[in-house]
Structure 1
Amino acid sequence: MSTAPPGGSLRAAAGLRYGALGLPLAFVALPLYVVLPSHYAQIYGVPLASLGALLLGVRALDAIADPLIGRGVDRAMAGPRVPLMQAAWVAALLLALAFAALFFPTFFLPALQGNTALLAWCGVGLVVAYLAFSALSVLHQAWGARLGGDEPARARIVAWREGLALLGVIIASVLPGTAGLPTTCVVLAVALALGLWGLGTGPAPAATSAGRTASVDERGLIATLWQPLRLPAFRRLLLVFLLNGVASAVPATLVLFFIRDQLQAPAWEPAFLGAYFAAAALSLPVWVKAVARFGLARCWLAGMALAMATFLWAAGLGAGDTTAFVLVCIGSGLALGADLTAPPALLAGLLRREAPDGSQDGAFFGWWQMATKLNLALAAGLALPLLQWLGYVPGQTSNDGHAALSVVYAVVPCGLKAGAAGALWWLWLSKESS
């Protein structure tokens, strides 16, 4: 296993090997969250209400498990590297098998029939898939945090991971519909294998202090689970991350409604989404260079300002404004680049300052991943009831519905972004300068 060059610099080959696992982890998420519900409803006739309740329950269990997974990753990374990678390969195998079993239940169990049996199969498959996904995700993030380096170096590490993750999202958005679900399953398995091979042969993270890990373990699981939240700097950063994450997740939750009912341009969906993700991917090197000059927190603040300017413009769009919305997608995609680069790099820097031995990286990233999932849940819980209360009905194009959709899709996120920007300034930047 190779090591990173001195000073935390990451060459292209090493960055590609570390970041490669980000592609299948992002790739697997889209079919599970978007394709799977319609697949069970259309192919197997499972009621949507039952699917919704099942997905909500499984996601709640998944989010609660993340801090526990983080502690498990800490313990595994404190030991020899070979058992750690063996455990990662087992998780990848479980993820690939659970993914295939979810989409082809009767292939694995031909006698499976009836809604109850299908829901039980789906529930078990989702639990296995989500837990394996979370384990690999926390490991990948903690591994990157332990590569160290200054702010620009940490930004480059995150950019490799998130850039390849964006590529995974783009591939996952087109592959199931063009090549079919069997091919999608094969591509996921191959990408997971290549990603783990790259991680195992790429730059090695700094070793954890064995003495420190032993002392942490002696304090007990419950005590160490809550340890990250006892750090004031982590609580401040997590609050900013939550506010900003909900602000970003609201328009992501509503974008298809906005395209279909507000713009009345469903045929443009691939172009809009492609422009958004492509702009985010292309912006990553630009944000990395900006970090070297202005710092992570100020670049994150600039990204928030760009997002607010973009969505305030989107609030005035209506039927047929497709060219203008392409520009909105490009602008918000550029802002997404800052969201992807700065927060995890800031967390990595905080860990190197406050817990330099790396014994709790997994625990911190477990809470971070839980917050990421909470962002999506809060966004849906806020946006969808608010839309209904304001009079919006999907598929209808009344004036009240248009006004409600514009407000919730574009104006509400700007208010949340403003709150996140204020929190970033007062809770983080002012602390750095004082």
Structure 2
Amino acid sequence: MKSSALAAYGVLGLPLAMAMLPIYVLVPNFYAADLGLGLALTGTVLFLARLLDTIQDPWLGRLIDRHTPRGWTLLLATAAIALSLAMAALLIPPGSLGRPGLAIWLGALLALTYTLHSLINITYLAWGARLSDQPNTRTRVAAWREGAGLFGVVLASVLPSILATQFGMAAALATFAITFAVLLCIGTAVLLLAAPRPHRIVRTAAGNWRLPLRNMAFRRLAGVYFINAVAVAIPATLALFFIADRLQLAELTGLFLALYFVSGALGLPFWTRLADRLGKRRSWRIGMLTGCAAFVWAVLLEPGSAWAYAGVCMMSGLALGADLALPPALLADIIPAEERDSTAAYFGLWSFLAKLALAIAGLALPLLALSDYQPGTPAGWNLALVYAGLPCLLKLVAARLLTSLPCGESKPCKRP
């Protein structure tokens, strides 16, 4: 498959990835502080909306599988327009709602935004899984998608902060909403008009979201993926705390995050080529071990260690490419040919596991509270151990379990 075709597919990954960062990071503070909703009410609304977002994905996969690829075109076009409008309404709320009205507005728009984003994302993942029956091509499909997504995350982390410094948070979010809508519509149009079409599948048991659970290879891969996803989610949850309170370098947060994500994008071609040579399973395990070797040094960093932490961000970012590109490609490989009409059901459960991992990673905060860590105060080894030590331990467990995982690839597995 030509690079131009893969690029046409991958470009939608950019706006889809940039959508969630402002919602998770900026919206809570914007509604709670700037709009006066308050922490308790904002937190309650966020919890309920995220709970819905976590449990709905398997059912969305079932809905998507009931449509043919022709139906996916209308589904994606409609959902993209609706998501653009929902994001704009969420980030540019009316000014005279009052606290009860503002809480209802936030809850309704969050639920709608989460649902539409999941609907597009699961369809998009299923589209990529059906582009080719060649395992190596599936790896490249995932690499293009995740590479675009990483640049979307960088854009989402940099653009609002720069705009907020110059014009204030309300103007920054409004500009972001417009930018997101333009990029989402462009990405969707390019996918629908220029990307390769997904293979048509003879329909059999489509629409049964429990079908993937009967696949032993999926259950084993999902277990490894979930443990590794928790290992990735914990540092994502604690990164701002670690940079500000352990390293005491809050002013460099944007640069550290950008370095991490850009390194991840630059590392994707390496993991793609390595997977071609060694297989995806073995390459992913190497990526896990490489990530551990790079990230564990964060435990030893003292306040002010800017250059050392930049090195950790760069090396662990390079390893991130393996976590992004190889697991979804492995998932596409293990879906039996007779179940290809249920591709979205597989990716619906996959998305559910990713969001569940984020929820579980949130438990790191009360764990730190039990160790007497207080945000905004200088932190000791307790924060460093939970931020870097615990994720590395989980990655080692996942890497060990991966050794017994069937490859799901056309060529025999090579033992690592």
Equivalent residue of 1:236, what SS?
helix
Determine if contact 2:132/2:138 at 8 Å carries over to the other structure: yes
- In the alignment, structure 1 residue 183 sits paired with structure 2 residue 175: yes
Q: 1:277 aligns with which of 257, 261, 269?
A: 261
Q: Give the letter aligned to residue 200 of structure 1.
A: L
In structure 2, what is the equivalent of residue 370 of structure 1? 352
Please tell me the residue identity of whatever aligns with 1:19: G
Distance in structure 2 (CA, Å) of the matches to 1:172 and 1:126: 18
In the alignment, the residues of structure 2 paired with residue 140 and residue 105 of structure 1 have an alpha-carbon distance, to the nearest angstrom, of: 29
Cα distance in 2, alignment partners of residues 355 and 391 from structure 1: 53
Residue 123 of structure 1, CA deviation: 0.5
Please tell me whether residue 413 in structure 1 is matched to residue 391 in structure 2.
yes
Which 10-residue stretch deviates more, 69-78 or 287-296? 69-78
- Give the whole-Å Cα distance in 1 for the aligned partners of 2:128 and 2:55: 23
For 1:112 and 1:175, how far apart are their aligned partners in 2?
Answer: 28
Aligned residue type for 1:405: L
Find 2:105's aligned residue among 99, 112, 121. 121
> d(CA) in 1 for partners of 2:300 and 2:96?
54
Residue 194 of structure 1 aligns to which amino acid in structure 2?
I
Structure 1 Cα separation of the partners of residues 324 and 132 of structure 2: 18
Q: Is contact 2:230-2:358 (8 Å) kept?
A: yes
Partner of 1:91: 79
Structure 1 residues 355 and 48: alpha-carbon distance in aligned structure 2, compared to 1, 3 A threshold:
farther
Q: How far apart, in 1, do the equivalents of 2:135 and 2:280 lie?
A: 7
CA distance in 1, matches of 2:101, 2:374: 33
Q: Which moved further from structure 2: 177-186 or 36-45?
A: 177-186
2:222 counterpart of 1:241: no
Asked whether 1:112 is paired with 2:104, we answer no
Structure 2 residue 337 is the aligned partner of structure 1 residue 355: yes
In structure 2, relative to structure 1, the CA distance for the partners of 1:167 and 1:356 (3 Å cut) is farther
Aligned with 2:21 (options 23, 30, 42): 30
Corresponding residue SS for 2:300: coil
The whole-number CA distance in structure 1 between the counterparts of 2:161 and 2:391 is 31
Match of 2:166 in 1: none
Amino acid at match of 1:112: L
Deviates more, 1:39-48 or 1:129-138: 39-48
Q: TM-score, normalised by structure 2?
A: 0.93
Which residue of 192, 198, 204 maps to 1:200?
Answer: 192
Moved more, 39-48 or 164-173: 39-48
- Corresponding residue for residue 6 of structure 1: none
CA deviations over 1:235-282 (Å, ceiling 9, x no partner): 000000000000111111111111111111111112211110110000
8 Å Cα contact 2:13/2:146 also seen in 1: yes
Root-mean-square deviation (CA, aligned residues, Å) is 1.7
User: Shift of residue 346 of structure 1?
Assistant: 0.1
- Which of 79, 85, 90 aligns to 1:102? It is 90
Structure 2 letter corresponding to 1:241: Y
Deviation of 1:429 (Å):
5.8
- How far apart, CA to CA, are the structure 1 residues paired with 2:140 and 2:405? 25
**Does 2:164 align with 1:171?**
no
Partners of 2:279 and 2:413 within 8 A in 1: no
Task: Work out whether 1:387 is the aligned partner of 2:362.
Answer: no
Task: State which drifts further: 135-144 or 170-179.
Answer: 170-179
Q: Is the 8 A contact 1:170 1:277 kept in 2?
A: yes
The superposition leaves residues 28-70 of structure 1 with CA deviations (integer Å, 9 ceiling, x where unpaired) of 1111111100111222111112212211111111121101110
Native 8 Å contact 1:152 1:289 kept in 2: no
Q: TM-score, normalised by structure 1?
A: 0.90
1:39 aligned onto 2:64: no
1:267 maps to what in 2? 251
C-alpha contact 2:76 2:188 (8 A) present in aligned 1: yes
Check conservation: 1:246, 1:378, Cα contact below 8 A.
Answer: yes
CA contact (8 A) 2:17 2:150 kept: yes
User: Aligned partners of 2:404 and 2:75: how far apart in 1?
Assistant: 42
Matches within 5 A, 1:43-62: 43-62=34-53
Matched residue SS, 2:277: helix
Q: Does the Cα contact within 8 Å between 2:83 and 2:117 map onto a contact in 1?
A: yes
Give the fraction of aligned pairs with identical amino acids, expressed as a percent.
Answer: 42
CA distance in 2, matches of 1:52, 1:359: 39
Match of 1:7 in 2: none
* Deviation of the 1:335 alpha carbon: 1.2
Match for residue 317 of structure 2?
A: 333
> Is 1:424 aligned to 2:402, yes or no?
yes
CA distance in 2, matches of 1:300, 1:56: 33
| Structure 2 unmatched runs, 5+ | 164-171
2:56 aligns to what?
65
Indicate conservation of the 8 Å contact 1:163/1:284, yes or no. yes
Question: Which one of the candidate residues 376, 380, 396 is aligned to 1:402?
Answer: 380
Q: Deviations over 1:295-344 (max 9, x none)?
A: 10111101111111122211100111110000000111011100001100
Q: How many angstroms does 1:393 deviate by? A: 1.1
Q: 2:169 matched to which residue of 1?
A: none
* Match of residue 168 from structure 2: none
Matched position secondary structure for 2:186: helix
* Partner deviation per Cα, 1:365-387 (whole Å, 9 max, x = no partner): 00000011011001112x11111
Paired AA for residue 420 in structure 1? A
SS in 2 for 1:204: coil
Letter in structure 1 aligned against 2:78: V
| C-alpha deviation, 1:182, in angstroms | 2.2
